[in-house]
Amino acid sequence: MKTNNNNILIYLVGIGFVFIAILISSNYITPPDFVKKQILLSVDYTKAGCNNKNGESNCSVTNVVSSPPDHFIYFGFGEYLASQAKLSLEEHRHQQQQHKHDYHYLRVDSNPYTLTADNSIDHVKFLMLTNQSFELPAVGRELVCRYNVRLQTFNTDKHPFGSSVHNPEQDLRLAAAAVNSLDFATNIVADFLITNNQIYVVYERLPFAGPEYAAFTFAIPIRTRQPNEFVELAIAWDAEHQIVRWLIDNREVYRVSTVGYLISREYLIVDRGGREELVFPKSVQCGAGTFTLLDGSAPCLERETTVGGGSGYNLYQELGMDRSSFLLNSVEFGSDEISNSGTILVLDHDSKQIELEEYEGDSAILINNNNNNNSNVDDNNYNDDKGLLDSNIQQLQSSGSGGDTNTTTYEDINIGDDKDGDQDVLPLDIERRVSLYMLASHLITRMGDKMWDFMIPLTLIVISPTSLIPSSLYGLSITFIGIILSPSVGRMVDIKKKLPMIRTAISCQVCALGTSAVLLYLLMRYSESSDNIKSNIFSHVGTALCFFALLISASIHSVASSIMNISVERKWVPKLIKRDSSLTKMNTRMRQIDLVTEVSAPFIAGLLTTIPHINELRAFMIVALFNFASFFPQFYFLQLVHNSASLQLERQEQQVEEEECVQLTEHQQAEQLQQQQQKKSYTLYNPFKDLIRGWKLFIRQSVFLVVISFVLLWFTILSPHDPLLTAYLSSSGYTNLQLAIFRGVGALFGLLSTFSFEPMVKRFGLANTTTIYIAEEGLMVLLAGLVFTVLPLTTATRYIFLILIVVSRVGLYGFELGEIHFVQRAVQDSIRGNISGVETSLTSLAMLAVYIGGLAVHSTANFSILIWLSIGFINIGVITLLFWRFTKPIDIKLHKLQN
């Protein structure tokens, strides 16, 4: 009966793991999409009837009008009135399969541009805006300006600017149409600008209110289009989170979360200088119009020079260049249903043409739930910023010394200044709160992982007590997966948004642990029923299949853990904790948690087996249940981090480093988009290319030798928790109690370094402190080797040997803290995940090399060979760091951390 109860319980655990994975990966534990939509304004024009006496299936009626529709006014500035257009009401009727469809439009025809001004007002040829400014809702809602748009520009190929314009069909400076949302109180503008074959997101601050603030115009090429194509466009304002979003066909394509600040200069086309400041509108107006931008730099896809310069405002009038016009329509409309499409702008006038909508719910979370982000847009027409970034990185890799753009010089690492003025610095109370959330999640994660890692080998020994092969294969499979896939994991973390990645990683961990729990339980039941399986787990087909499935499940768990570690420790922590003193404390607390759980988690797991009536199977089930329960608070705390600091995290994930923009023809654009899709597949399907790509990036980093020094420290058996050293000491007569004390004291000395690190950095500086720590480890292991080989083997020398190894832990963990800080500060955020993945791959390779060394030198009589190989690698690491440290230019200033 007890056996049946155990069976039911373990199967329930496995089902529960799968269920929680489904919950986490779905939207059940996140807010619903749009709870409510409220139309604040819709355009309803008086429409003429279609009275075709001949009964034809298609007909149209056009009535000329002399003023903008109700609820709209012309934009004016002084005597300048942006009204250069002929307006007309138009109706189309189309009959298909006995159904009649009426389409009603407002047609705007901008004549050859003749309207001009002596300043940037010249940009506007025609612009109608809502006659009221709609207040942005404060909490839980968005205000959305929505349009359905088609346009066509004419005669742009007749421009006089020669090679300065590469593709007049897409260059927004010559002629473009726009759908607008803006606020004249702050002069913040969020538009879509559209040309014949390109759609641009426009983020702008106008210079009208004064010269003090930064005035600028950014144009981001988002996707291509055909001249007759209808596209649904929307601009959403979220005042609660101070985010503005651009959507195409109800999919988010761009967002800005630090409104008032410059974004990537790659997309900057007008820069009027000034001081950046965080600002957000309290209300906005919506509108549509036709534009030129002759004083702007070339857009990203056309980058070469400025057209016209300051004197170019009147070029259209002088040269008779024709017009820009476009069609807006809220009803889906096929291009074959438009007759004589030309220089027109058309607004639907009986459907909801311009919608100002309020959405309930937390938009910052909703975007992630819906995967409406730049990197996940799957339409081939979209220009993927991340794909362009990958392309530019690949160009830098192959350009020799020209890749300096992608590296951070050591002079750029500011180790000392807590810059509260940085726009990304969180308020101190929020910084402390997110730090506590991340530490709480880290503690729960590490406690569960360490208990699980401790129980797995014990369980495998129970299953196969006479063979170490299952345990060895288990360790080797995880290590091998780490070597091969870690760079791919790091690159994927760089490209994808972090919260969905974390959600996916936790889901994979849940599924993997649930599957592993069921498989281990089945293996234990098989083992209890057959002595042959105890002696050889591969003697039965069922147990062999279960074991190999266990290896796959464990590998998935290992990859998911890497995603979590890189996403949180290497990406979120340095992004959110900008003050260097706070970052040092955060890194220190995380290492303290690692060391405490390294000792306490195995102790707690082992203690379970000493409780009466709890055997190995029940202890294993308790640990599995603890891991099951831990995923709820683990994800909950990380969700709180995201909610508390969504602005900073969204800025991190959207901002692209300032790489050189590639000039493309229309054919080249299509070719590059195809290449971008192929590059995305490398992350998942070509880990070897990611490994090579990661290495090329890795060796170009200014802290390359620092990371190499850290990796060299892993080529060692001189660690209290190393299995080879533990086995040797056990065979040499040390008791289990002595070995347990040795391991525990080693962790305590490592913990000591986390308390001494911050005071030493304040006194000596980060680089000097890091050098001191690694030199201390090198010296201690060298002395330990001399004691082991030179002095006679006595009880005293045995304990001195162990003490020196324990003391070397101070240097190891202190140096690790410094190395983490260097990577967090010196490696660009856009590639830090990739670099961290390469580092993980190298440390896994070092572990594999140690295992192979143990197989090659398997005799205890030759154990001194492994000791001196370890000493050699560690001290090569010391020399490598010293070379890096003292071959830098003498003018490099290393700042000390300040409180």
pLDDT tens across 130-154, in order?
888 888 887 778 888 888 777 777 7
Which amino acid does the sequence have at 117? A
Tokens 């957000």 correspond to what residue? 280
Distance, in Å, from the CA atom of 401 to the CA atom of 405, rounded to the nearest integer, reads 10
Total Cβ atoms within 10 A of residue 46: 12
Adjacent-strand bridge partners of 104? 91
**Dihedral angle over CA of 561, 565, 568, 571, nearest 10:** -130
Q: What is the pLDDT of residue 881?
A: 94
Q: What DSSP character marks residue 417?
A: -
CB of 180 closer than 8 Å to CB of 128: no
Q: How far is CA 674 from the centre of its chain?
A: 22
**How many CB atoms sit inside 10 A of residue 365's CB?**
18
* Closest CA relative to residue 745, chosen from 788, 784, 789, 799: 799
Please give the backbone phi and psi of residue 359, each rounded to the nearest 5 degrees, phi first.
-115, 135
Contact 654, 646 (CB under 8 A): no
Listed residue (109, 110, 114, 102) closest to 88, CA to CA: 109
The residue type found at 490 is G
Report helix, strand or coil for 287. Answer: strand
Q: What is the pLDDT of residue 120?
A: 66
- Name the least confident of 51-55, 186-190, 249-253: 51-55
- Alpha-carbon distance of 559 to 480, in angstroms, equals 11
| Pick from 57-66, 201-210, 361-370, 496-505: least confident | 361-370
Kind and range of the H or E element at 473?
helix 469-495
CA proximity to 128, closest of 200, 183, 86, 69: 69
Q: What pLDDT is stored for residue 367 in this prediction?
A: 23
> Is the confidence at residue 340, as pLDDT, over 80?
no
Could you give the CA distance from residue 371 to residue 732 in angstroms, rounded to a whole number? 58
SS3 607: helix
CA atoms of 635 and 25, how far apart (whole Å) = 11
DSSP letter for each residue of 657-691: P-PPPPP--HHHHHHHHHHHHHHHHHHHH-HHHHH
Task: From residue 640, give the alpha-carbon distance in Å to each of 310, 373, 568, 635, 762.
Answer: 49, 20, 13, 9, 32
Say yes or no to pLDDT of 800 above 90. yes
pLDDT of 629 = 83
- Tokens representing residue 377 in the block: 């847009």
- Dist. CA 544–CA 538, nearest whole Å: 5
The distance of Cα 641 from the centroid of its chain, to the nearest Å, equals 15
Ranges 287-291, 613-617, 885-889: which has the least confidence: 885-889
* Fold classified for 421-643: Growth Hormone; Chain: A; (1.20.1250)
Mean pLDDT along residues 319-327: 35
Distance CA 771, CA 756 (A): 14
pLDDT band at 250 (very low <50, low <70, confident <90, very high): confident
Confidence band for 432, pLDDT divided at 50, 70 and 90: confident
The residue type at 726: T
* Number of Cβ within a 10 Å radius of residue 851: 15
Residue 770: which pLDDT band, with cuts at 50, 70 and 90? very high
Q: What DSSP element (H or E) covers 283?
A: strand 283-291
Q: What is the arithmetic mean of pLDDT over 590-600?
A: 84
The secondary structure of the chain in percent helix, strand, coil, rounded to multiples of 5, reads: 55, 15, 30
pLDDT over 90 at 805, yes or no? yes
C-alpha 866/C-alpha 849 separation (Å) is 11
Provide the β-strand partners of residue 89.
63, 106
Residue range 859-868, pLDDT digits in tens = 778 888 999 9
Kindly state the average pLDDT of the residues 798-816.
92
Model confidence at 21: pLDDT above 50:
no
pLDDT exceeding 70 applies to what percent of the chain? 68
CA distance 380 to 195: 18
The DSSP call for residue 137 is: P
Rounded to 10 degrees, the C-alpha dihedral 170/171/173/174 comes to -70
- Helices 428-463/498-529 angle, 10° precision: 20
Only one residue has tokens 């995305």, namely 680
Does the pLDDT of residue 155 top 60, yes or no?
Answer: yes
Q: In the structure, what pLDDT confidence band is assigned to residue 803 with cuts at 50, 70 and 90?
A: very high
Q: 872 near 711, Cβ under 8 Å?
A: no
Please tell me which residue, 347 or 512, carries the higher pLDDT value. Answer: 512
For the stretch 628-655, pLDDT in tens is 788 888 888 888 888 877 655 555 444 4
Do the Cβ atoms of 159 and 274 come closer than 8 Å? no
| Long-range contacts from 427-433, C-beta under 8 angstroms, 24+ separation | 430/644, 430/645, 431/576, 431/577, 431/578, 431/579, 431/582, 433/644
Query: Mind listing the pLDDT tens digit for each residue in 657-690?
Result: 333 343 333 443 444 444 444 444 444 447 777 7
Mean pLDDT on 339-349: 38
Q: Report the alpha-carbon distance of residue 5 to residue 7 in Å, rounded.
A: 5
> What are the b/e assignments for 205-225, b being 16+ CB within 10 Å?
bbbeeeeebbbbbbbbbbbbb
Pair 828, 657: CB distance under 8 Å: yes
Of the listed ranges 352-356, 637-641, 705-709, the one predicted with least confidence: 352-356
* CA 196 to the chain's CA centroid: 32
Average pLDDT over residues 816-834: 85
Q: pLDDT tens across 104-115, in order?
A: 666 677 756 666
Give yes or no for a contact between 494 and 856, defined as CB atoms under 8 angstroms apart.
no
- What is the predicted pLDDT for the residue at 119? 62
Bridge partners of 134, per DSSP, are 284
Q: Are 848 and 479 in contact (CB under 8 A)?
A: yes
Out of 461-470, 536-545, 889-898, give the one with best mean pLDDT.
Answer: 536-545
d(CA 491, CA 160): 45
The tokens for 8 are: 């039911």
pLDDT at residue 281 in the model: 94
Please write the tens of the pLDDT for every residue from 518-554: 888 888 888 777 777 777 778 788 888 988 998 898 8
Q: Mean pLDDT: which of 66-75, 327-336, 390-399 is highest?
A: 66-75
pLDDT value for 7: 52
The radius of gyration of the chain from alpha carbons, rounded to an integer in Å, stands at: 33
Return contacts of 672-677, CB within 8 angstroms, 24+ apart: 672/387, 672/388, 672/391, 673/380, 673/383, 673/384, 673/387, 674/380, 675/387, 675/391, 676/384, 676/387, 676/388, 676/390, 676/391, 677/380, 677/387
Amino acid at 256: V
Arithmetic mean of pLDDT, 227-245? 84
644 contact partners, CB below 8 Å, separation of at least 6: 430, 433, 434, 437
Backbone φ, ψ for residue 266 (5° rounding): -55, -30
Q: What is the DSSP letter of 452?
A: H
CATH of domain 701-899: 1.20.1250.20
**What residues does 81 pair with on adjacent strands?**
76
Kindly report the pTM of this predicted structure: 0.52
Handedness of CA 798, 801, 807, 809 (dihedral sign): negative
Confidence tier at 96 by pLDDT (50, 70, 90): very low
